[in-house]
Structure 1
Amino acid sequence: MSKGLKIATIGGGSSYTPELIEGFIKRYDELPIEELWLVDIEAGKEKLEIVGNFAKRMIEKAGVPIKVHLTFDRKAALKDADFVTTQFRVGLLDARAKDERIPLSHGVLGQETNGPGGLFKGLRTIPIILEIVEEMKELCPDAWLINFTNPAGMVTEAVLRYTNHKKVVGLCNVPIGIEMGVAELLDVDKSRIRIDFAGLNHMVYGMEVYLDGVSVKEKVLELLADPENSAFVKNVQNHGWEPEFLRALGAIPCPYHNYYYKTDDMLQAELENFKQGTTRAEVVMKLEEELFELYKDPELDIKPPQLEERGGAYYSDAAVRLISSIYNDKHDIQPVNTVNHGAIADIPYDSAIEASCVITKEGPKPIVNGELPVAVKGLVQQIKSFERVAAEAAVTGNYDTALLAMTINPLVPSDSVGKEILDEMLEAHKEHLPQFFSEEKTETVKA
């Protein structure tokens, strides 16, 4: 009998973990997991214990023989793992609040994965991901890294560019949320819908939509023109699209495109929330408190429906479907973040893209798109430039490179405003950005 799988989840105390557990339970027959190691840091001890005990109850109720280990020892978790999933937040939700509030105090959009907030989440996250990859090289060199930590595209870019570990796939629940939303709009089962995705993480477009193999893109674009129909995720405000704009665009935008195509609407709404002390970080903090109170209940042994409000809905479907497809060499089609290898002609060959891929035991094989439509090409390339430069800043700790990344992001109005935000955010996140504060760099940061 073959040995069961070992999976290590870094950030195991996350409120998302029950989504993952549900997915592993549902697919146990095709994914024989023997050990699941939930790893967190000492500061997350209480949450890890609450989530870990809840996970054990879910598994016991389901009657599947998965052994759950809770640990702060990342290396013990990584040792001989078959898959490593990452879903952590450096600096916890307090850091997210700073990422949102500081840019807004300068009249600039503050958001977790876009603009200055996305830059700083990347600067804090990438060094830790690269540490994990180094440990994997020693402890589980053949394991696949499945990264759900945002900004997923920038993180995937950094792993591809600054390590030799090519077994990395970035994952986002936005494309699967769009597929579910489109199926709902058309009032059909999701299994009948296929969308061809191409672009970058949180900058991905549905290039074609099929129902039973027949294109229904025009009909979907028409339906999306109704503001009631275009909210595909819970965590991004929806302001609706102009019908004429959608027709001319000729592709399905993702919810995060609101930040780029409706910047002023989004900024005004965020500024209003900022004044009232209800930025998304505060909303999530409150939601997490409620979720962890639910998770504590010794009678609770199934995932509560409230978790879908968290913004991570369908994570289990996306993550576990991906792991199963790699393990079972399924050759099905899924949207993931992977190396381009020429699939999108307008993006460098060795860069990360988000696109529909055939999933094999050798990893994702992106479906060839050729050139992007002229209407979307420029914005996608600008965001790729931002991701590349931001990843370089995260690795080098170079102030000038960080300012360049900040300024070339389309949500930052000028280098002078960018510099003000950069300086304030570097100071606010100093504890989690040691690469910028070594002795030889102190003068540059203060300059």
Structure 2
Amino acid sequence: MKKFSIVIAGGGSTYTPGIIVTLLKHLDQFPIRQIKLYDNDGERQKIIADAVEVIIRERAPEIQFVATTDPEEGFTDVDFVMAQIRVGKYEMRDKDEKIPLKYGVIGQETCGPGGIAYGMRSIGGVLEILDYMEKYSPDAWMLNYSNPASIVAEATRRLRPDSKILHICDMPVAIQNNMAKILGLKSYRDMDVRYFGLNHFGWWTSIKDKKGNDLMPKLKEYVAKNGYLPPNHEDQFEESWKETYRKAKDVYALDPDTLPNTYLKYYFYPDDVVEHSDPTHTRVDEVREGREKKVFGICRKIAEQQSTEGFNLEGSDEHADYIIDLARAIAYNTRERMLVIVENNGAIENFDPTAMVEIPCLIGSDGPERLAMGKIPRFQKGLMEQQVAVEKLVVDAWIEHSYQKLWQALTLSKTVPSARVAKLILDDLMEANAGYWPELH
């Protein structure tokens, strides 16, 4: 049986240990001969890599492990590139979240002005990694979950149309896992779903169990009262996530025929979000104080004692599970049904064929085969037309170095109240992103 070689691009990410542990748990289904970590920040990556080396040595010493900042070493002889880069790291996320809040506009890393700023930084980084892969391992597949996925996906569709790249997001999976808990099922894998939308901007139209029983009525009844926060699971979520999952009940109220992605709260209730935001302490601060501190702390201790003893590394990581399912589906042509971001091309009948949409596809060795979603209702179609125009204008602005197009993108975003506010935010973001964005004129 073939054994695979994988590189995790963005090896210094706090998600890396979870991906490694999950990969090692599934070696019987997805055998691996080599794992590489690649990052352009060697210092940050070393903290993670020193611990990963110990984890691999303990659990699968036969796997060759490499951590590098050299593209040729990182991308040569690999079958899969798992990309989770964050251009500008948390320092720039801090600005993405806090600058818009100065003007009473939501500060969020993938939605609204913050997502647009992050997209302008991410496009170049993702293209760079894709080009390294194609240069050093032209037969490999890139599984990209670097954000903001919609903007990055539109950029690769336009600028690297023939590349073997798939864009994914674990948010629908995280929500589906909550749905499974609400329904008393073991996992999101116990459900068959129909879903349509853009990344962080979609709706479920059907959820059934494997026997074909309709689970929507029970779910809708629960969500209408409680949102997506599962019963007796409060202690599993940080406060901001509890608020997000609860808020889904207000988002659901707008269209009780479907079930919404949680991120729609930023577009439907931006005023509520701003009211509950502290402009001096946003989600990035929570991540730094929580996940980053915890993961880096554990990694340092594992490296220090050269053992994982005393550390529970088996935590549930939907993020990692989903990526591995995707790699396995491509490697073994399983034609598993998964939500991925693909060019619409008629899957949503009454929507822009060039839009990058998030829909169920059958995944095999040739990539994704779209499932037809038919026609979508006017409410969702109107919202999606506006949002896809924002994403396309951002990519136009990046390609053309156009200040005008980026101002238009911000003005068109449902989260921004006026062109005047859009311009104020844009000017601040432009200054903050000097050296990261193309020079706009």
TM-score normalised by structure 2 residue count: 0.91
Q: Distance in 1 between matches of 2:175 and 2:348?
A: 21
1:5–1:303 Cα change, 3 Å: farther
Q: CA deviation at 1:184?
A: 0.3
Aligned to 1:40: 39
Correspondence 1:398 to 2:413? no
* Higher deviation after alignment, 11-20 or 32-41: 32-41
Q: Distance in 1 between matches of 2:134 and 2:288?
A: 35
Aligned to 1:53: 50
Q: Distance in 1 between matches of 2:10 and 2:157?
A: 21
Q: Which residue identity is paired with 1:30?
A: Q
Superposition pairs of residues 95-106 of structure 1, within 5 angstroms? 95-106=92-103
Structure 1's consecutive aligned runs of 4 or more residues displaced over 6 angstroms after TM superposition are: 305-308
Residue 22 of structure 1 aligns to a residue whose secondary structure is helix
Aligned to 1:165: 162
| Equivalent of 1:321 in 319, 322, 325 | 325
| 1:298-335 per-position Cα deviation (integer Å, ceiling 9, x unaligned) | 23369757977xxxx41111111100111010011111
Aligned to 1:347: 351
Q: Distance in 2 between matches of 1:31 and 1:222?
A: 39
CA contact (8 A) 2:32 2:63 kept: yes
The two structures, once aligned, show a CA RMSD in angstroms of 2.2
Aligned to 1:283: 286
CA contact (8 A) 1:386 1:408 kept: yes
Aligned to 2:308: 300
1:132–1:283 Cα change, 3 Å: same
Superposition pairs of residues 254-273 of structure 1, within 5 angstroms? 254-270=261-277, 273=278
CA contact (8 A) 2:179 2:219 kept: yes
CA contact (8 A) 2:87 2:122 kept: yes
State, as a whole percentage, how many aligned pairs show the same letter: 29
Q: Distance in 2 between matches of 1:114 and 1:189?
A: 31
Residue 247 of structure 2 aligns to a residue whose secondary structure is coil
Residue 166 of structure 2 aligns to a residue whose secondary structure is strand
Residue 9 of structure 1 aligns to a residue whose secondary structure is strand
* Higher deviation after alignment, 374-383 or 178-187: 374-383
Q: Which residue identity is paired with 2:263?
A: Y
Aligned to 1:201: 199
* Residues matched between the structures, number: 426
* Higher deviation after alignment, 197-206 or 292-301: 292-301
Correspondence 1:107 to 2:96? no
CA contact (8 A) 1:109 1:267 kept: yes
Aligned to 1:214: 213
Q: Distance in 1 between matches of 2:349 and 2:382?
A: 13
Residue 43 of structure 2 aligns to a residue whose secondary structure is helix
Q: Distance in 1 between matches of 2:113 and 2:57?
A: 43
Q: CA deviation at 1:25?
A: 0.9
Q: Which residue identity is paired with 2:399?
A: V
Q: Distance in 2 between matches of 1:48 and 1:329?
A: 33
| 1:83-116 per-position Cα deviation (integer Å, ceiling 9, x unaligned) | 1111111111010000010000011111000000
* Higher deviation after alignment, 183-192 or 99-108: 183-192
* Higher deviation after alignment, 5-14 or 241-250: 241-250
* Higher deviation after alignment, 220-229 or 357-366: 220-229
Q: CA deviation at 1:136?
A: 2.6
Aligned to 1:246: 253
1:207–1:64 Cα change, 3 Å: farther
Q: Distance in 1 between matches of 2:406 and 2:281?
A: 28
Q: CA deviation at 1:371?
A: 1.4
